[in-house]
Amino acid sequence: MSDYYKPHRKPDWNYGGPNWKLSRSKIDLFLECQRCFYVDNKLGVARPPGFPFNLNSAVDKLLKKEFDAYRAEKTAHPLMKEYGIDAVPFQHPRMEEWRDSLRAGVSIRHKPTGMLVRGGVDDVWVYPNGELIVVDYKATSKDGEVSLDAEWQDGYKRQMETYQWLFRQNDFKVSDTGYFVYVNGKTDRAAFDAKLEFDVSIIPYKGNDDWVEPTLHDIKKCLDSAALPTPDPLCDYCNYRKAAAEVSSAAIKKPPEEQKPAVRKSKPLEAGGTVSLF
Ligand code: SF4
């Protein structure tokens, strides 16, 4: 087991415990698969995390620094001018808290369900009339223009809409249109030369947060139920888990004498080696 993954979370952090919170990513997990969501939030076993995207984090950090310089001056970033966006980066004493997705974020206690909902934003801009604009930074490297057209990018749109909903719940006036600051690493250079260059573009997205409220009620209903939601029959991971559990339990039931030759047959053990069921 790695240092980064402990399969069984302490109950305090599960649904019903004092530390449980519904993050933006957990809402997305619910929409992806209610069973995985339930096993994570109610039963306390989350999916293993992926490897950290260090290059994406570096891009996020540098973009934040860059926009912060204009925030301090209360002026628009040249990109905002280039795209005709009449706004400036928003100055607010809670900006760093809103950006801290792990410890704080933009949060609200949703009264009808009692759940604490939160999410960490990348940036917020503001129009002269005081209306806020939710901004998200994205990094990729692909040929051609970046867009939001792929099906897998629906999660990006829901992310934006969740933040818009959270700010509205915090009594801010929020524009339906948010922006993705999208950087695209160029691979058409002659050599790496110890630097990666990016094209930067701003993509507008008109959000609609109407789905958030009913989804929160569905989440509460799911978590309050004693029934484990059904798995997606097309999910490769669940089919793998089921198949692995079947063959493992069959192997465990065999008497030890029967198990040994089977292991030796498929892979001879080296001196001092161990055998794992998976
Ligand atoms: S079908 Fe199974 S493994 Fe797949 S997402 Fe749902 S619970 Fe998780």
Q: pLDDT tens across 240-252, in order?
A: 988 999 999 988 8
Q: What is the pLDDT of residue 125?
A: 98
Q: What is the pLDDT of residue 204?
A: 96
| Distance from residue 162's CA to the centre of ligand 1 (Å) | 23
Q: What is the pLDDT of residue 255?
A: 67
Of 38-47, 179-188, 253-262, where does mean pLDDT reach its minimum?
253-262
Q: What is the pLDDT of residue 186?
A: 87
Q: Which residue, among 133, 20, 17, 161, has the nearest Cα to 67 in the 3D structure?
A: 133
| Distance from residue 108's CA to the centre of ligand 1 (Å) | 29
| Distance from residue 89's CA to the centre of ligand 1 (Å) | 40
Per-residue pLDDT reduced to its tens digit, 2-42: 777 888 989 999 999 999 999 999 999 999 999 999 999 99
Nearest atom in ligand 1 to 231's CA:
1
DSSP 174: B
Query: Atom 7 of ligand 1 has which residue's CA nearest to it?
Result: 36
